[in-house]
């Protein structure tokens, strides 16, 4: 090539300055549509965000990013966009391992600080390493030519933008969280959070003139009794948007593979043919082969959390929960677990001719007197008191209170409820419940009405203590053990009625 042929490719200082000026201008141009947002991230960060919903009832990663970004730009939203009825911008992201959750949250943070002046964002991870990972993504994005957005150098755990916005990494401690008054809090790997830190974090966000407060919870769901499970369960009641995706929303498009010979086929069923993500198919196959089925379902398919540490792993709401009503032709039992700070529990149970246990109703209440409980029990019992076959209870309820000199059993009897008890070990009752859920022959002999949501939740979440050492005794956590105890007293007393005692005082 001669000199003249090369000259058009040479950029003069003036041309370079003009290109840099255009770049900076575009970098600060606010995306106004989903397509704009997707193109902005691809152009300036080099990341293509998956934008296809593959599985029923799932979302795409771009759905979350658009929700987070437009929380403070309601005029950009359409009727189809997910909006919290609570007036805040809270959100939950439940996604698979390697699903891009942390990187997406870092992108959301960059967008907040770039296009929302004076927006204060804090990053709180389940560990220091997790918090640092999101911040590292953020600083890596800034190093792609976006340093011009900062008012000074990015420090180890915080940075400030020239529009007054700022980002800071918090440590996993109540002291670090308390005293924060910010607009956006991103909690990464919520499953790993300390309960006290999570409780304190709920009070950190507050809205300002044009910025809507948002607490975003981001995690896989490892355990049915963990913080993420509780957050997702509460979200239905609170109206908090839940953005959920699994590996098929982020997997690469499948081409040239024979479905019938693919190990992923039972789960895939052709879904990867429609995908447009980045996760390598061979990596997914490798992870499936390494992991247990329960682990793969929890970590990659987001079907349900792993039940490897729960007590009643065979309990399945699809099998054991069904609408059932009181049948006046069947005997009615009640089973009680006493509590004051922890809930007082009453279960209404019938037994049919085939020996099937039918739990038809529940009552749970904390911080109320025995007199209050007795009145509620009588009101909700669907037959006259004299027609109740038996009322079983915790044997500890017969012990006299040091202050009042009486006992819960004695108070109930004085109020017309004759409660009976039989001493037993916890594991004895647990085994009877297990047998009813699924016998050695694979049969179930228990049905639970949807009127018993707390019992249903307890059967899914009652678990052994976490930790490296295995334990035979389930954890008494004050949450799930009480409904199980009430159910256990029924099985213990009904299984051996000859040992049941009625005490008179």
Q: Give CA–CA dist 177/179, Å, rounded.
A: 6
Helical spans, DSSP H, in 32-184: 34-45, 61-70, 101-115, 128-142, 174-177
CA-based nearest residue to 487, from 366, 413, 394, 407: 394
pLDDT value for 497:
55
Q: Report domain extents, the chain.
A: 22-247, 317-499
State the residue for tokens 């029924």.
490
Q: Give CA–CA dist 113/160, Å, rounded.
A: 9
pLDDT value for 468:
56
The answer to whether 174 and 188 have CB atoms below 8 angstroms apart is no
H-helix or E-strand spanning residue 201: helix 195-201
Cα 498 to Cα 80, 419, 466, 494, distances in angstroms: 62, 15, 38, 9
Those residues with Cβ within 8 angstroms of residue 93's Cβ, 6 or more apart along the chain or in another chain: 64, 101, 104, 105, 216, 217, 218, 219, 242, 243, 244
pLDDT value for 1:
42
pLDDT value for 5:
39
| Residue 253: CB atoms within 10 Å | 12
Q: What is the 3-state secondary structure (H, E, C) of 16-38?
A: HHHHHHHHHHHHCCCCCCHHHHH
Rg for the chain, CA atoms, rounded: 29
Which CATH number among 3.40.50.300, 3.40.50.1820, 3.10.200.10, 3.40.50.10860 corresponds to the domain 22-247? Answer: 3.40.50.300
State the residue for tokens 């293509």.
48
State the residue for tokens 């991103």.
186
Q: How many angstroms separate the most distant Cα atoms in the chain? A: 113
Q: Give CA–CA dist 39/395, Å, rounded.
A: 66
pTM listed for this prediction: 0.78
pLDDT value for 27:
82
State the residue for tokens 């099985």.
491
CA-based nearest residue to 285, from 258, 265, 313: 265
Q: How buried is 348 (Cβ within 10 angstroms: 0-12 exposed, 13-18 middle, 19+ buried)?
A: buried
Those residues with Cβ within 8 angstroms of residue 109's Cβ, 6 or more apart along the chain or in another chain: 121, 123, 134, 138, 167, 184, 186
In CATH, what is the architecture of 317-499?
2-Layer Sandwich (3.30)
Tens-digit pLDDT profile for the chain (505 aa)? 443 334 444 556 666 777 777 777 888 899 999 999 999 999 999 999 999 999 999 999 999 999 999 999 999 988 777 666 667 899 999 999 999 999 999 999 999 999 999 999 999 998 878 889 999 999 999 998 888 899 999 999 999 999 999 999 999 999 889 888 899 999 999 988 999 999 999 999 999 989 999 999 999 998 888 899 889 989 988 899 999 999 999 999 999 899 989 999 999 999 999 999 999 999 999 999 999 888 899 999 998 887 778 999 899 999 999 999 999 999 999 999 999 999 999 999 999 999 999 999 999 999 999 999 999 999 999 999 999 999 999 888 877 765 566 788 999 999 999 998 888 889 999 999 999 999 888 899 999 999 999 999 999 999 998 765 556 899 888 889 999 999 999 999 987 754 444 444 3
CA-based nearest residue to 33, from 97, 80, 86: 80
The answer to whether 79 and 40 have CB atoms below 8 angstroms apart is no
Residue 435, Ramachandran bin (φ over 0: left; ψ between -120 and 50: alpha; else beta):
alpha
User: What is residue 233's DSSP assignment?
Assistant: H
SS3 192: helix
Query: What is the helix, strand, coil percentage profile of the chain, to 5?
Result: 40, 15, 45
pLDDT value for 467:
66
Those residues with Cβ within 8 angstroms of residue 53's Cβ, 6 or more apart along the chain or in another chain: 59, 60, 63, 249
């Amino acid at each position: 090539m001669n000199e003249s042929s090369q000259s058009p490719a040479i950029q003069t200082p003036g041309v370079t300055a003009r290109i840099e000026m255009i770049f900076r201008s575009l970098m600060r141009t606010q995306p106004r549509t989903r397509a704009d947002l997707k193109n902005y991230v691809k152009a300036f960060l080099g990341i293509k965000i998956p934008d296809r919903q593959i599985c029923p009832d799932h979302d795409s990663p771009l759905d979350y990013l658009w929700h987070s970004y437009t929380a403070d730009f309601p005029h950009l939203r359409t009727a189809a966009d997910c909006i919290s009825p609570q007036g805040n911008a809270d959100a939950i992201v439940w996604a698979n391992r390697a699903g891009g959750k942390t990187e997406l949250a870092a992108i959301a943070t960059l967008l907040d600080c770039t296009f929302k002046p004076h927006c204060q964002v804090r990053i709180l991870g389940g560990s220091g390493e997790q918090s640092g990972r999101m911040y590292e993504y953020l600083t890596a994005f800034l190093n792609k030519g976006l340093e011009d957005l900062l008012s000074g150098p990015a420090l180890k755990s915080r940075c400030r933008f020239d529009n007054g916005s700022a980002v800071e990494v918090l440590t996993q401690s109540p002291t670090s969280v308390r005293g924060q008054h910010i607009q956006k809090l991103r909690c990464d790997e919520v499953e790993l959070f300390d309960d006290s830190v999570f409780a304190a974090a709920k009070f950190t966000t507050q809205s300002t003139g044009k910025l809507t407060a948002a607490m975003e919870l981001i995690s896989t769901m490892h355990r049915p009794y963990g913080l993420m499970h509780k957050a997702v369960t509460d979200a239905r009641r609170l109206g908090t948007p839940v953005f959920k995706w699994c590996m098929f929303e982020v997997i690469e498009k499948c081409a040239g593979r024979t479905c019938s010979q693919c190990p992923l086929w039972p789960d895939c069923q052709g879904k990867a043919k429609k995908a447009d993500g980045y996760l390598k198919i061979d990596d997914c196959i490798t992870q499936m082969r390494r992991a247990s089925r329960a682990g793969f379902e929890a970590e990659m398919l987001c079907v349900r959390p792993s039940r490897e540490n729960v007590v009643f792993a065979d309990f399945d709401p699809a099998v054991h929960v069904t609408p059932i009503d009181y049948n006046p032709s069947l005997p009615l039992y009640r089973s009680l677990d006493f509590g004051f700070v922890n809930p007082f529990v009453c279960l209404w149970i019938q037994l049919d001719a085939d020996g099937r246990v039918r739990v038809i109703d529940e009552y749970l209440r904390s911080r109320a007197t025995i007199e209050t409980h007795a009145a509620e029990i009588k009101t909700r019992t669907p037959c006259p008191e004299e027609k109740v076959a038996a009322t079983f209870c915790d044997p500890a309820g017969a012990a006299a209170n040091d202050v009042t000199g009486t006992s819960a059993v004695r108070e109930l009897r004085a109020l017309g409820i004759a409660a009976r008890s039989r001493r037993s070990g916890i594991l004895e009752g647990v085994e009877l419940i297990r047998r009813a859920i699924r016998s050695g022959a694979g049969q179930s002999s228990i049905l639970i009405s949807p009127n018993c949501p707390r019992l249903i939740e307890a059967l899914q979440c009652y678990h052994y203590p976490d930790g490296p050492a295995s334990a035979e005794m389930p954890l008494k956590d004050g949450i799930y053990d009480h409904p199980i105890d009430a159910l256990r007293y029924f099985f213990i007393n009904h299984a051996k009625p000859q040992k049941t005692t009625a005490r008179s005082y």
